[in-house]
A and B are shown apart, each in its own frame.
Chain A
Amino acid sequence: MSNHPDRMAILLYVEDESTEGAMVAEHLAGCDECEAIAEEFRRAFAQLQHRDLMGYYSVPDGDRDALRAAVLREADHVTEESWSADAFVADLLARPLGTWDACFERQPERRTSWVARRLFEEVELELNRRPEYALHLIGVAERIASFLSDVECRSVLGDAWKHRSNALRHLGRYEEALDAAALAESFHASLVTGEFDLAQAQFARAGTLFKMTRYAEALEVLGTAAATLRNYGNSVPLAKTIMLDAAIRIEEGDVGMAQERWREVLPILKHLGDEVEQARVLANLAECNLRLGAYEQAMADAKSSVDRYRALHMEMESIRSEWTIGMVHLARGESDDGLAVLENAAAAFETLSMSGDAGFVKLDVCEELLRREEWNEAEVTARGLASLFIAAHVTTASTRALDFLRRSVENRQATAETVRYVREYVTADDPARRFEPPSVAVN
């Protein structure tokens, strides 16, 4: 076939009704343009042959406009209720907790799911600072739930038990926290639209298992939660789930898997526009890469993290990433650069009165100076360590360990290994542990 077949000939060929099938096939094999036309027909047929599609298409949809109107009415209602709840809860928070029940008695119309959820926002703010108070707030929200419709009640109770689980975890009441999370899961699982919340309750349970160092169980629960959340696309709970997974991997010593998780979550955080968490993840990636020996990437991530923290005016975090930069320099054998960066980081921590952190940076400095056998410099650093850690109120065992280090340096007996030995005591800072000098081999 010298000329191109017309569209009808191609159509007949695709429909297997062509009397010139062999010739058309031969032409298509050598002609991209005509093959594209044939492919277009094939695609159209494939789509049109979906019987369920055509069946669906033939049924008129009378719901679209009415449902749209109903959904938008709901949106307006949500806006009004949110504003109203904000004002009411602000008023409540200004009063003693003991008077709140009377407020609700006087204004029973305030017992709404929106007021309960506004209280949960307050709970999230109080969790770290005042977990006992957070538990009281959760109790108030729970009492509101009993006045709501069945679905709203179960939804609010699910959230109440999830937040209770978090508060109990902060208080170290881990077994109760696990029970509370299980109850939260039950409430959310009973709802038609409860899957997203169910996964978040599972996340709360995983958080407690993590604190209990039951890492394998925590990872299993997180896996279940993540599987659900991934279906919902990028979301804050998905990012949190992946980040907790990464943190557990670090605790387990699985730096490679942790690195994989941090890398996975970074684009999600970018999509969500969460600048703070992006900076944190970059800082964590820098640490992982440092530990894995990927120094170039570690340096790039740490620098990027510093830039982001600075832009966010998060000075303390910025100094921590500077510290990582210093450690990357040392790992690359750039000793002078590393020491300069570490000295600056220690000074910056001291400016913020963070003497403990300054002390740990100085321990790294001391280790490097000993490696270089710069005894006089190391001596000055070792002497300064004691005062820094005493200002940070460390235990007696830690103080003794630091004193041991100072004497070892003064006697020219200390090595980098001595610093690591002492650092382990100060990091644990366990009041129940006595300081025991290392064996002679260390010195």
Chain B
Amino acid sequence: MTTRDRVAAAYDAHYDVMRYIAAQRFRVPPPDIRPLIHDVFVSFMRHYAAVGDERSWLVAAVSNACRNYWRDSKPSEVLTDTTDTRELIEDASARVDVLRLLARIPKRCQAVLWLRYVDGLSPEEIALRCASSTSAGYGRQLIHRCLRAVREALAVGVQEHS
């Protein structure tokens, strides 16, 4: 495998997790995420002969790079995130898997699930918002249908994975 092929494969496999960590765990401003991940990959290319576990390496590297980013940007602030990298990998990977899952379901379902589980709307309110209906039962049907879509997407994902 050439350097290019290996880097491309690593990027495609791990970019989402790396970006998620930089954006969500370390709150690095979006314009600064790109150069940060770029630098991590440059470092990866320099070290990859010694790397045995690309995912762990890249996640640890991006996490440390984020900590150092804040150290250099705001040296007076103590960064409290000292999460163990292995935990971080599991957590971030699970979340990114959900992101990929959500991308597989219809937009309407994404909106229904958002309203229910993020905004905390009741089934009646969802029915009203999404279908101009005042029926709580209809709202519950919508939620159920969307969860089923998630389940089916998950099943497809599991089959693809296996």
Contact of B3 among A12, A63, A78 (CB under 8 A): A78
Q: Which residue of B lies closest to A52 (CB)?
A: B24
> Of A233-241, A245-253, A343-351, A395-403, which binds chain B?
A233-241
Contact of B65 among A67, A68, A192, A271 (CB under 8 A): A192
The answer, yes or no, to whether A109 is at the interface (CB within 8 Å) is no
**Interface of chain A residues 181 through 198 with chain B (CB within 8 A):** 191-196
The answer, yes or no, to whether B53 is at the interface (CB within 8 Å) is yes
Is A272 in contact with B19, judged by CB distance below 8 angstroms? no
Is A75 in contact with B45, judged by CB distance below 8 angstroms? yes
Is B151 in contact with A233, judged by CB distance below 8 angstroms? no
The answer, yes or no, to whether B36 is at the interface (CB within 8 Å) is yes
Q: Which residue of A lies closest to B52 (CB)?
A: A234
Residues of chain B within 8 A of A53, CB atoms compared: 24, 95, 98-99
Is A72 in contact with B61, judged by CB distance below 8 angstroms? no
Is A75 in contact with B4, judged by CB distance below 8 angstroms? yes
The answer, yes or no, to whether B2 is at the interface (CB within 8 Å) is yes
Taken together as a complex, chains A and B put the C-alpha atoms of A63 and B20 apart, in Å, by 13
Is A193 in contact with B43, judged by CB distance below 8 angstroms? yes
* Min CB gap B6→A, angstroms: 8
* Tally of A-B Cβ pairs under 8 angstroms: 156
Is B43 in contact with A71, judged by CB distance below 8 angstroms? no
A-contact 0/1 string along B52-92, CB 8 Å cutoff: 11111100110111001100100000000000111000000
* Min CB gap B13→A, angstroms: 12
Question: Would A74 and B72 be within 8 Å (CB), given that A48-B117, A232-B61, A236-B50 are in contact?
Answer: no
Q: Which residue of A lies closest to B41 (CB)?
A: A71
Is A233 in contact with B24, judged by CB distance below 8 angstroms? no
Q: Which residue of A lies closest to B151 (CB)?
A: A40
Question: Would A75 and B7 be within 8 Å (CB), given that A67-B37, A268-B52 are in contact?
Answer: yes
The answer, yes or no, to whether B8 is at the interface (CB within 8 Å) is yes
Residues of chain A within 8 A of B43, CB atoms compared: 193, 196
The answer, yes or no, to whether B138 is at the interface (CB within 8 Å) is no
Question: Would A235 and B51 be within 8 Å (CB), given that A54-B118, A193-B39 are in contact?
Answer: yes
Is B52 in contact with A45, judged by CB distance below 8 angstroms? no
B-contact 0/1 string along A60-71, CB 8 Å cutoff: 010110111011
Q: Which of A51, A232, A272 has its CB near the most chain B CB atoms (within 10 A)?
A: A232
A-contact 0/1 string along B87-117, CB 8 Å cutoff: 0000000110011001000000000011001
The answer, yes or no, to whether B128 is at the interface (CB within 8 Å) is no
The answer, yes or no, to whether A44 is at the interface (CB within 8 Å) is yes
The answer, yes or no, to whether A117 is at the interface (CB within 8 Å) is yes
The answer, yes or no, to whether B40 is at the interface (CB within 8 Å) is yes
Residues of chain B within 8 A of A68, CB atoms compared: 8, 11-12, 15
Residues of chain B within 8 A of A50, CB atoms compared: 95, 98
Residues of chain A within 8 A of B84, CB atoms compared: 231
Residues of chain B within 8 A of A12, CB atoms compared: 140
Residues of chain B within 8 A of A78, CB atoms compared: 3, 45-46
Is B118 in contact with A71, judged by CB distance below 8 angstroms? no
B-contact 0/1 string along A200-237, CB 8 Å cutoff: 00000000000000000000000000000001111111
The answer, yes or no, to whether B150 is at the interface (CB within 8 Å) is yes
Q: Which residue of A lies closest to B15 (CB)?
A: A64
Contact of A234 among B53, B64, B98 (CB under 8 A): B53
Is B69 in contact with A192, judged by CB distance below 8 angstroms? yes
Residues of chain A within 8 A of B38, CB atoms compared: 67, 70-71, 74
Is A193 in contact with B7, judged by CB distance below 8 angstroms? no
Contact of A195 among B33, B64, B98 (CB under 8 A): B64
Taken together as a complex, chains A and B put the C-alpha atoms of A234 and B86 apart, in Å, by 12
Contact of A72 among B7, B33, B147 (CB under 8 A): B7
Is B99 in contact with A79, judged by CB distance below 8 angstroms? no
The answer, yes or no, to whether B144 is at the interface (CB within 8 Å) is yes
* Min CB gap B46→A, angstroms: 7
Is B118 in contact with A79, judged by CB distance below 8 angstroms? no
Residues of chain A within 8 A of B127, CB atoms compared: none
The answer, yes or no, to whether B34 is at the interface (CB within 8 Å) is yes
Is B114 in contact with A54, judged by CB distance below 8 angstroms? yes
B-contact 0/1 string along A35-55, CB 8 Å cutoff: 000001100110111111111
Residues of chain A within 8 A of B37, CB atoms compared: 67
Q: Which residue of A lies closest to B99 (CB)?
A: A57
Taken together as a complex, chains A and B put the C-alpha atoms of A192 and B61 apart, in Å, by 9
B-contact 0/1 string along A115-126, CB 8 Å cutoff: 001000000000
* Inter-chain pairs besides A54-B114, A63-B34, 17 sampled, C-beta below 8 Å: A11-B144, A49-B118, A53-B98, A63-B33, A68-B11, A72-B7, A72-B11, A74-B7, A192-B36, A193-B40, A193-B64, A231-B60, A231-B63, A232-B51, A232-B56, A236-B50, A272-B52
A residues sitting closer than 8 Å to B (CB atoms) are 7-8, 11-12, 17, 40-41, 44-45, 47-57, 59, 61, 63-64, 66-68, 70-72, 74-76, 78-79, 117, 151, 191-196, 231-237, 268, 271-272
Q: Can you offer 25 A-B residue contacts whose CB atoms are under 8 A? A: A8-B140, A11-B140, A17-B140, A41-B147, A44-B150, A45-B117, A53-B95, A56-B20, A61-B19, A71-B38, A75-B45, A78-B3, A78-B46, A117-B46, A192-B39, A192-B69, A193-B39, A195-B60, A232-B51, A233-B55, A233-B57, A234-B53, A234-B56, A235-B53, A236-B50
B residues sitting closer than 8 Å to A (CB atoms) are 2-4, 7-8, 11-12, 15, 19-20, 23-24, 30, 33-34, 36-43, 45-47, 49-57, 60-61, 63-65, 68-69, 72, 84-86, 94-95, 98-99, 102, 113-114, 117-118, 123, 140-141, 143-144, 147-148, 150-151
The 8 A-B residue pairs with the shortest CB-CB distance, nearest first, are: A233-B56, A233-B53, A234-B52, A231-B85, A236-B50, A231-B60, A195-B64, A193-B43
